[in-house]
Amino acid sequence: MRLGLMAVAVVALLAVPAFAQQAQPAPKAAPVASDAGNLVQGFPTQIIDTTTTPEGKLQFDVNAGYVSGEGLQTTLWELSYGVTPDVQISAFWPFIIGEGRVTGNFDTSIEVLGNLYKGDENWPSFGLELIGRFPTGFGFTGYDGTINGVATKAFGAWRANLNAGYTTIGNNETANRAHTDSYKIGVDYMVEDNVCVIADYFNNMAPVIGAERIQMLEVGARWAATQIDTLSLGVGVGVGNGNATPDFTATLGYQRVLN
pLDDT tens, residue by residue, 52-74? 999 999 999 999 999 887 666 88
Q: How many CB atoms lie within 10 A of CB 68?
A: 15
CATH number for the domain spanning 183: value is 2.40.160.40
**What is the residue range of 26's domain?**
2-257
Domain count across the chain: 1
Q: What distances in angstroms separate CA 96 from CA 66, 73, 100, 102, 215, one per listed residue?
A: 10, 6, 7, 8, 21
Q: What is the pTM of this model?
A: 0.85
Q: Is 190 exposed, middle or buried (0-12, 13-18, 19+ CB in 10 A)?
A: middle
Dihedral sign of CA atoms 256, 55, 162, 195 in order:
positive
Q: How far apart are CA 166 and CA 182, in angstroms?
A: 6
pLDDT tens, residue by residue, 161-206? 999 999 998 765 566 777 899 999 999 999 999 999 999 999 998 8
